[in-house]
A = this chain, B = another copy of it.
Amino acid sequence: MARVTPQTHGDILAAAARRFAVTGYKGTSLQDIAREVGCSKAAVLYHFANKEALLAELMAKPLDVLRQLDEQLATLDGADAQRAGAEGFVDLAVRFRREIALLRGEFPELLAQPAFAHVQRISERLIDALTGHTDRLEARIAALVLLAGISEACAEFVDVPDDELRPALLAIARRTLAPLDPPPPLDPPVND
Binding site for B on A (CB under 8 A): 22-24, 26-27, 103-109, 137-138, 141-142, 144-153, 156-157, 160, 164-165, 168-169, 171-172, 175-176, 178, 191
State in angstroms the CA–CA spacing of A159 and B163 once bound together: 39
State in angstroms the CA–CA spacing of A2 and B182 once bound together: 61
Q: Can you tell how many copies of this chain the complex includes?
A: 2
Q: Tell me the minimal C-beta distance from A172 to chain B in angstroms.
A: 5
Which residues of the partner chain B approach A150 to less than 8 Å between Cβ atoms?
145, 149
Question: Is chain A's interface secondary structure helix, strand, loop, or mixed overall?
Answer: helix
Q: Tell me the minimal C-beta distance from A189 to chain B in angstroms.
A: 10
State in angstroms the CA–CA spacing of A103 and B168 once bound together: 27
State in angstroms the CA–CA spacing of A148 and B148 once bound together: 7
Which residues of the partner chain B approach A108 to less than 8 Å between Cβ atoms?
22, 24, 104
State in angstroms the CA–CA spacing of A105 and B146 once bound together: 16
The residue of chain B having its C-beta at the shortest distance from the C-beta of A136 within the complex is B168
Which residues of the partner chain B approach A27 to less than 8 Å between Cβ atoms?
26, 109
Other-chain contact of A105, B104, B142, B164, B168 (Cβ < 8 Å): B104
State in angstroms the CA–CA spacing of A160 and B140 once bound together: 12
State in angstroms the CA–CA spacing of A72 and B191 once bound together: 25
Other-chain contact of A168, B106, B107, B141, B168 (Cβ < 8 Å): B141
The residue of chain B having its C-beta at the shortest distance from the C-beta of A108 within the complex is B104
